[in-house]
Amino acid sequence: MPHKIIRSYPIGSLALLAILCGLLWRLEVEYQGWAGLKWVSYFHWAAPLASYDCSIQLFILIPFIPLGAYLIMRAFRMHLPWRILLLSMVGYLLAMPLSVWILEILDHKGGADVIHTIKSGVLIPFWVFALGWLVIKKRDTDKRISL
């Protein structure tokens, strides 16, 4: 029964999955405390732009995650229009400012910045949805080809 719902409403199912991932992220933060996400503050060590601000690095590097997923799909001969990749990358880019805006509206006690959007879990549903968009659209293109 659940698989019929997922097949019938893929965007709604993806949205629910994204929200669930954000809630689970937040639950983990509540369980482990902010110290459990200490690695988030070390992002600049993994990036080649060590002299720049961490938020700038996130803004530059993170949108390439959908590109990696797209290339993996292509390597396994799952062809997808580049427009879908572009939409997913734009989704990743817009997720950060949108999440900061949401934290500003909610008057988040830690502040409204990129690091707190990750720690609070507000950013996670946007990222999951943008990455899942590739998979949903891949399935849609398969349907059109098989008809």
**What is the rounded average pLDDT of the residues 25-48?**
67
Dist. CA 50–CA 67, nearest whole Å: 22
**Looking at residues 127-139, what average pLDDT do you find?**
83
pLDDT score at 147: 42
Work out the average pLDDT over 82-88: 89
Q: Give the separation between CA 91 and CA 19, rounded to whole angstroms.
A: 15
Query: The tokens of 47 are what?
Result: 């990036």
More confident residue, 15 or 57: 15
Least confidently predicted of 27-36, 44-53, 83-92, 116-125: 44-53
Residue recorded with tokens 């396994």: 76
pTM here? 0.72
Predicted pLDDT at 146 = 47
d(CA 4, CA 10): 10
